[in-house]
Amino acid sequence: MTSRLTHVEPYAEAEMLCPAKVNLALSVGAAQENGYHPIVSWMVAVDFWDQLSVQCIEGIEDRYHISFSEDASVRQAVDWDVEKDLVYKAHQLMKRRVEKKIPPVEVTLKKYIPAGAGLGGGSSDAAGMLVGLNELFELGIGDDDLIAMGAELGCDVGFAVSAFLGKPSAMATGYGEVIEAMTHLEPVHLALIMPNVGCATAEVYNAFDEMSEDHKDVDHDGVWSLIKGGKLKADGPFNDLAEAAEKVQPRLGELRGRIYEAVHKPVHVTGSGSAMFVIGESKEDARKMMDIIVERCDVACIDVQTLKINP
């Protein structure tokens, strides 16, 4: 990959809204010899965001400010080193790929998407960093190369880059690294539930391995049928990791039951948990369920919808 670095005015800035992702369907196969699990998943980006700013600065060193917003639905602390954050890793990857030195930047990340929720917040932040640097410094990196760079950082990062590029609905296959954009044009409305507990992805997959058959295959046809089946019904989504997530975090099962009793609709887990969602008939229906869930179940909940697909 070749890139050209053009002159950028001091204090020029790229501001990015980094969307959460939801797995409307997730089929997981048995672990392969390499330890990875094949998957087929319908992934969508929704209008719930982290806020990322990348600004040119004078000096010789980059600066990072990463924190959860004081008005985030779920208050958390950033308890990890900057060097372990995917935004930092995306920045370093971009530096290695371009031919000329990228000038110092100040990175400010205000997080709203909770960590350990299966919503891909960190992955979306990394995607925003790649796209933001490409725009800010006019690097000229093409869409396919940006998506490939994202996939190097993680499967969800590749999808998140695709979402930034106007393709917020996709089917992920392989080990999650193969992203095929979908043209599901009708918006999906959800009540998105965010318990104040997290699920470690590795622990959930370990529990899945203990609970599933050694030769379990992925259900490609089931995911594809859901994508192409028209308006998504409340009982349509499925997730092979849901039971494993409940085993790792037993509160999820209890909370799913309470929410079902409150809204009388199926409650689905996204990714490896802990976030959950309920499909609404409309934006008004999703908002009504949100109010009921917050009042009766004492858990953070917001109404969201899938992002518009660019034709």
Q: Is 123 annotated as a binding residue?
A: yes
Q: Is 174 annotated as a binding residue?
A: no
- Kind and range of the H or E element at 127? helix 121-136
What is each CA distance from 240 to 63, 67, 156, 222, in whole angstroms?
40, 32, 17, 12
Which is the catalytic residue, given 156, 219, 285, 303? 156
Q: Among this protein's residues, is 21 annotated catalytic?
A: yes
Q: Among this protein's residues, is 283 annotated catalytic?
A: no
Q: Is 124 annotated as a binding residue?
A: yes
Judged by phi (left if over 0) then psi (alpha if -120 to 50, else beta), residue 37 lies in beta
Q: Is 31 annotated as a binding residue?
A: no
Q: Is 202 annotated as a binding residue?
A: no
What is the rounded radius of gyration, in angstroms, for the C-alpha atoms of the chain?
Answer: 19
Q: Tell which residue, 203, 192, 208, 224, has the closest CA to residue 302.
A: 192
Q: Is 148 annotated as a binding residue?
A: no
- Kind and range of the H or E element at 19? strand 13-28
**Is the separation of the CB atoms in 150 and 133 below 8 Å?**
no
Q: Is 109 annotated as a binding residue?
A: no
Total Cβ atoms within 10 A of residue 152 = 13
Position 207, amino acid? A
Q: Is 140 annotated as a binding residue?
A: no
**Is the separation of the CB atoms in 63 and 57 below 8 Å?**
yes
Q: What phi and psi, each to the nearest 5 degrees, are found at residue 178?
A: -95, 115
Q: Is 192 annotated as a binding residue?
A: no
Query: How far apart (Å, rounded) are the C-alpha atoms in residues 237 and 25?
Result: 5
Q: Which residue has the tokens 């530096």?
A: 95
Which is the catalytic residue, given 21, 89, 111, 265? 21
Is the bond into 69 cis (omega within 30 degrees of 0)?
Answer: no
Residue ranges of the annotated binding site for ATP are 114-124
Residue ranges of the annotated binding site are 114-124
Q: Give catalytic residues, as residue numbers.
A: 21, 156
